[in-house]
């Protein structure tokens, strides 16, 4: 997976978990559930129909559909929890 932030030179504790990708054979799509590296408590989703998961093939969930670019999109795609 790729993130818009560069990998830090020295790893630090963030409390963020790993992303998970599942395949839905009914619509031939891969779904990624992940938490952002921005310091907020959220769960986010992205989808791709590319079996290799290439950068640029992912669309993030926003406003009822997977319509935001995978990289460089706004943070509106995340669902914030309390």
Rounded Cα distance between 37 and 4, Å, is 10
Token pair of 33 as six digits: 């559930």
Number of domains composing the chain: 1
DSSP symbol at 45: E
- Residue-range definition of the domain harbouring residue 28: 20-80
Does residue 60 sit within a domain? yes
Instruction: Judge whether 62 lies within some domain.
Output: yes
68 within domain boundaries: yes
Residues 79, 71: Cα–Cα separation, whole Å: 17
**Residue 41 belongs to a domain:** yes
What does pLDDT average to in each consecutive run of 10 residues of the chain (82 residues)?
69 66 95 77 87 90 87 61 43
């Amino acid at each position: 997976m790729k993130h818009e932030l560069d990998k830090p030179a020295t790893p630090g504790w963030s409390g963020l978990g790993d992303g998970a990708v599942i395949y839905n054979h009914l619509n031939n799509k891969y779904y990624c559930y992940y938490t952002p590296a921005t310091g907020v408590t959220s769960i986010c989703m992205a989808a791709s129909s590319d079996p290799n998961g290439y950068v640029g093939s992912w669309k993030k969930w926003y406003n009822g559909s997977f319509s935001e670019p995978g990289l460089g999109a706004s943070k509106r795609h995340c669902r914030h929890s309390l």
